[in-house]
Amino acid sequence: MWYVREPTPEIIVNLRWLAELPFMDATWFGFGHRVPMPMPMPTPPVEGCDFKTFLFLTPIIETDQRIAEALMVENDPVEILTVNLISDAEYRFIKEKGLDPFLDMLDEEDYPPIFDPKRKSYL
């Protein structure tokens, strides 16, 4: 899930790529996982935004949280994740300090729930 104002073609392409990636690499995604764009990457994944790493978090909108809690496929719970783009410096911060301090920073900075391609790095 990616909270955006407008589902542009590049947003849709990125969501499809992210959805297919676990099947290509025989992996899975969960809360806090980060996916850097493959290099060399000629342009960032979203025009107007220099961030190149996807961070997966759980929904913060209450109705989406309730949907996530109730969603099951073949009696297995399904985790809904939100897509967030982060800067290289924020990515390094998470690797060095951990996810919790980064989430605290997002709270302190009043991180917007809807993607803003013009957001500046918090570091």
Instruction: Please answer whether residues 31 and 57 qualify as being in contact, where contact means their C-beta atoms are separated by less than 8 angstroms.
Output: yes
77 beta partners: 72
| pLDDT given at position 25 | 78
- Mean model confidence pLDDT for the chain: 89
- Looking up tokens 């790095």, which residue turns up? 121
Gap between the Cα atoms of 21 and 15, Å rounded = 10
How far lies 113's CA from each of 20, 39, 83, 109, in Å? Answer: 24, 28, 10, 12
| pLDDT given at position 41 | 59
Of 89, 121, 123, 115, the C-alpha closest to 11 is 115
| pLDDT given at position 93 | 97
| pLDDT given at position 68 | 78
- Would you place residue 23 in the very low, low, confident or very high pLDDT band (cuts 50, 70, 90)? confident
Q: Higher model confidence: residue 109 or residue 25? A: 109
Q: What is the pLDDT of residues 36-87, one digit of tens each?
A: 887 665 566 787 788 999 999 999 888 888 887 888 888 888 888 999 999 9
76 beta partners: 73
Q: Which residue type, as a one-letter code, is found at position 72? A: M
Instruction: Please answer whether residues 62 and 80 qualify as being in contact, where contact means their C-beta atoms are separated by less than 8 angstroms.
Output: no
Q: Could you tell me if residue 110 is left (phi over 0), alpha (psi between -120 and 50 degrees) or otherwise beta? A: left
On the question of pLDDT at 11 being above 70, the answer is: yes
pTM score, whole prediction: 0.87
